[in-house]
A and B are shown apart, each in its own frame.
Chain A
């Protein structure tokens, strides 16, 4: 079942197309890593797909009425914002509120448990550390309980253990039949935890497929300008950028 389909999605800023003719679809049960160098169009692709910015072409999400989108996709923006000193529990419950559900809905408790936020539940969310706030915001998105989660660099502020735990949560969501599209700069996390990788370059899709097929030496050199160290371990593939190549 397809949960998101994009057809020739194009976003222009002035005369420049920052996203050009992107067509792809996301099926239920996929954990997709969206990778690309800075300025490749990762955030623009996700925001345009959600209907949060003007675009040309089609997005099955953006075509929905505004109030109906909350039931289809949850969005975790890159720059976290918690404006007021609300408790962690209150903030996570906003995810349920977006679906018209009460704060006591099971999805709220489930999200708090999933992100191991039990000990923090009564604390002011904006008084937590950056990494803890990031986990609270992920829990908020999980509490929205949607078929699709789009997350823009959600693990950027997390320590290694929390990065791995978060990626495992995303993978578990996919195993439950939901879909996750997560933009990542850490190619190692993408290679190990994602079922599919979409590589963006200069506003277009450079490659799309299983990690092993996408992360080739030639593409890494062309798109990222780096060479990769690779190893297969019992726990999965290990990928690590090693050196810059080219000019």
Chain B
């Protein structure tokens, strides 16, 4: 399959799932009527549902999918490891810790965006710490070790907060938030996350040529004129911005950044730079599909997106690993 055809197919898939997401919901309204209410403001409740609830939800699914898919492809390219994922450098767990602290201290209730803002601050602090721990060089090894250490530390601190929480309601809220969801999000969340994500996407999109060179290893890439220390800074910053913002507005959603690049890699001929846009679209399609599924599988039960993604993603990933066994 040619790259242009693949990209066209993925664009079509995302557009189709985006439309399907817009017309999926508890309200018993036909698809045509829903879309008409979205385009033409009839002043009724359906327009409000479409514009204030379903549209931001679908937009967030696309934005978060792009962030996770793109970051996963970038991390796998940088670390030259198909099992790498964005959470490896501790961004998601740092964001989660920020959100958990906000929920526990009650700061989350101070104003509408206090929770995602706290998560974003957590992600930023985590990335600062990881870059400090990893040192000034451009190597991947210290970055992985620093990421593992940071993930362990933030997970321990999150558990500590839950452990010592005097308020069972706050603990409950924390546990549900950490499962990841796109329910009840508004355009406020879109506008808060979008600028940070876009900066992250731009940073990651600029890494394509260097990731191509890294196919040959760090030494060869450095000799080909790529500043690996700068690449690491840009890449970690890009992952932090996009995944930090994604976690901030939707909680922790795993497997997208791991599975999507893995599935699409053979379709782009293994090229790390082509995998970036393909994984961005693939991630958007997967998150849209999963968010549609959580509304259809158990309507009215608030099945969490992160839970469904892990339930579906883990067996798919195990299947991929099973297939890899025969090849190596």
Contacts and interface: CB of A to CB of B under 8 A. Distances in A.
Interface of A: 47, 50, 52, 66-71, 73-77, 79-87, 90-91, 94-95, 97-98, 124, 137, 140, 144
A110 B49 CA distance: 62
B224 A98 contact: yes
Interface in B190-241: 209, 212-217, 219-220, 222-227
A83 B215 contact: yes
Given A87-B269, A94-B212, A94-B213, A73 B225 contact: no
B223 A52 contact: yes
Given A81-B216, A84-B215, A73 B269 contact: no
Nearest to B230: A66
A97 B209 contact: yes
B215 A82 contact: yes
B163 to A, nearest CB: 41
Contacts of B265: 84-85
A73 B224 CA distance: 9
A50, A85, A144 pick with most chain B CB within 10 angstroms: A85
A75 B223 contact: yes
B222 A52 contact: yes
Nearest to A137: B216
Contacts of A83: 80, 214-217
A144 B224 contact: yes
Contacts of A80: 217
A66 B226 CA distance: 7
Contacts, number: 81
B186 interface: no
Contact of B269 (A82, A90, A98): A90
Contact of A70 (B80, B223, B271): B223
5 contacts: A52-B222, A73-B223, A84-B271, A97-B209, A97-B212
B128 interface: no
B313 interface: no
B220, B227, B272 pick with most chain A CB within 10 angstroms: B220
Nearest to B82: A84
A75 B220 contact: yes
A94 B217 contact: no
Contacts of B214: 83
Interface in B260-282: 265-266, 269-272
B219 A52 contact: yes
B227 A67 contact: yes
B272 A84 contact: yes
A69 B223 contact: yes
Contacts of A87: 269-270
A137 B209 CA distance: 18
Nearest to B220: A77
Contacts of B225: 66-71, 98
A67 B228 CA distance: 11
Contacts of B223: 50, 52, 69-70, 73-75
A181 to B, nearest CB: 13
Contact of A79 (B213, B217, B266): B217
Contacts of B219: 47, 52, 75, 77
A151 B220 CA distance: 11
B213 A97 contact: yes
Contacts of B271: 84, 86, 90
A52 B271 CA distance: 25
Contacts of B80: 81, 83-84
A66 B225 CA distance: 5
A63 B124 CA distance: 35
Given A84-B271, A97-B209, A91 B215 contact: yes
B270 A124 contact: yes
A74 B227 CA distance: 15
B221 to A, nearest CB: 9
Interface in B66-124: 80
Nearest to A140: B216
Contacts of A140: 216
Contacts of B224: 70, 75, 94-95, 97-98, 144
B216 A66 contact: no
Nearest to A126: B270
Contacts of A86: 215, 269-271
A85 B215 CA distance: 9
A69 B225 CA distance: 6
A57 to B, nearest CB: 19
Nearest to A67: B225
B265 to A, nearest CB: 7
A79 B218 CA distance: 11
The list of the 4 closest CB pairs from A to B, nearest first, reads A70-B225, A75-B223, A81-B217, A98-B224
A115 B216 CA distance: 18
Given A86-B271, A87-B269, A90-B269, A77 B212 contact: no
B272 to A, nearest CB: 6
A85 B213 contact: no
A74 B265 CA distance: 28
